[in-house]
Structure 1
């Protein structure tokens, strides 16, 4: 028999459930035992004579760490090292962390070197099961996963920075939305073509030259937000405050496009560049 000792009974119970899910046959499940030693500590006993059960235990142990403990560790780092207490803030940062791990944020993942955590973890789990019949989960974490735990801090640090930037961005967007309140539109429609930069057109599809756009800019806008305001596109849009903005663009995920959408919300209409050229051709 092999024994894995947990200092936390909830951890032992979660791991036990993962093994049962992996095995899913009654005869093998009978070879797995969950024993509560006291109010806190518990053991999971596994029959090592059955190869299928050993392999299932490895897989369950890996999934238990990745899907349960990883979240707990990230949360612990946020609270104990960075002193976050607000649960909403913690949850938002955790969502950023998990989006990096799941490959959804390549821009942030690029900031972390040697970031294949799952591969490292799989190697560590395989080694401990091959080398020892019985071991303590908490000792495994303390000694076998020291470098792994240090790497978790990199994910937390980068995600905190990203969270702060997103908060600043949202405050910036909200400030600009407030600026639009009660402003009278100078144009009913504006058409913006995203092609070799951004070109403005009025409701009759006549180009608005750069010099004219500059004259329309509200100087208070630039003086109040000198760092954040894009004077080429955002400042003219805010100053003109059109009732409707048509964006002709192929990449709708372009940062400037998303920013315009976030500021002007329901006023924005997305169109393809082909639509613009077709209109100009027919017009």
Structure 2
């Protein structure tokens, strides 16, 4: 027989439902019951088979990793960082899971490399023997403390990222509003983004750095000294071109995303080599036709 005691009724019912699902049983099954005000789950088998024990062990592990992890993340958000709003919690949770799923390598580097999942499995193996009798809450408190501390690290990093993203959105919106009030100084601007950013006019003639500096609206730098890059964003906003052709080797680069977010439909992101293809075409078109001169 197996007995798992829960302090929380909701936890008991969630695990009961989860276990029935794993074992493919109905809630009316008499071998797995919730007793005493639905706080104690009992598996009514005189002797648990090896297969049955493995199913229960796996169900318990999945319950901790998949079901309770969400509860713990939300609890840390609400109790430790006062994120009570469900929408805000949802945004932070999206960042957390993007890290867990390996989509945010830039944030992973700030987290200590651990193998908590393996430790959880080992801890479960120690308590899940032939006859199981354990307190779920004591198990979590004493055996999974390092894991819970890990979860708090994920929350802290994700909150910092969420706040930065909020600031970034405000920054982008402010610059969009600034852009709407500008009269374009050029219809077409070409940007070549390599190790540095180079500006070209519609004739593919390079606009020198000194000329760009003269074009910059000083209000931009005084109002947004931290966020506005004087080498790229400030001259772009000051020129306010109708169309920007941006040539890059990496369309996912942060500067490319920022320019696209600010200038929106004005931007066309193109492969890096397209600039040189276009430049050669323009040189060919501007050169005299040798056959016209009888050559």
Q: How has the CA–CA distance of structure 1 residues 180 and 30 changed in structure 2, closer, same or farther, with 3 Å as cutoff?
A: same
SS in 1 for 2:4: strand
Query: 1:30: how far off?
Result: 5.0
Q: Which of structures 1 and 2 has the bigger CA Rg?
A: 2
TM-score (structure 2 length as normaliser): 0.88
Gapped regions of structure 1 (runs ≥ 5): none
Cα deviation, 1:106-147, whole Å, max 9, x if unaligned, reads 221221113333233222222221486111111111111112
Q: Which residue of 1 aligns with 2:288?
A: none
Gapped regions of structure 2 (runs ≥ 5): 283-295
Cα deviation, 1:63-102, whole Å, max 9, x if unaligned, reads 1111111110111111111122222112111211121112
Cα deviation, 1:163-201, whole Å, max 9, x if unaligned, reads 111111111111111111221111111111112311111
Q: Which residue of 2 aligns with 1:209?
A: 208
8 A contact 2:61–2:124 mirrored in 1? yes
State yes or no: 1:56 paired with 2:55.
Answer: yes
Whole-Å separation in 2 of the counterparts to 1:74 and 1:137:
18
Cα deviation, 1:142-166, whole Å, max 9, x if unaligned, reads 1111121122211111111111111
Query: 1:212: how far off?
Result: 1.0
Q: How has the CA–CA distance of structure 1 residues 213 and 46 changed in structure 2, closer, same or farther, with 3 Å as cutoff?
A: farther
8 A contact 2:53–2:130 mirrored in 1? no
State yes or no: 1:78 paired with 2:66.
Answer: no
Query: 1:2: how far off?
Result: 0.9
Q: Which residue of 2 aligns with 1:14?
A: 14
Whole-Å separation in 2 of the counterparts to 1:130 and 1:114:
30
Q: Which residue of 1 aligns with 2:107?
A: 108
Cα deviation, 1:38-66, whole Å, max 9, x if unaligned, reads 1x623142645211111111111111111
SS in 1 for 2:126: helix
Q: Which residue of 2 aligns with 1:191?
A: 190
Query: 1:31: how far off?
Result: 7.3
Whole-Å separation in 1 of the counterparts to 2:44 and 2:167:
51
Whole-Å separation in 2 of the counterparts to 1:238 and 1:80:
43
Whole-Å separation in 1 of the counterparts to 2:43 and 2:25:
17
**Range with bigger deviation, 79-88 or 17-26:** 17-26
Whole-Å separation in 2 of the counterparts to 1:32 and 1:56:
14
Whole-Å separation in 2 of the counterparts to 1:142 and 1:83:
22
State yes or no: 1:41 paired with 2:39.
Answer: yes
SS in 2 for 1:245: strand
Query: 1:246: how far off?
Result: 1.1
Whole-Å separation in 1 of the counterparts to 2:106 and 2:44:
42
Q: How has the CA–CA distance of structure 1 residues 63 and 282 changed in structure 2, closer, same or farther, with 3 Å as cutoff?
A: same
8 A contact 2:32–2:44 mirrored in 1? yes
1:164-179 equivalences under 5 Å are 164-179=163-178
Q: How has the CA–CA distance of structure 1 residues 25 and 92 changed in structure 2, closer, same or farther, with 3 Å as cutoff?
A: closer
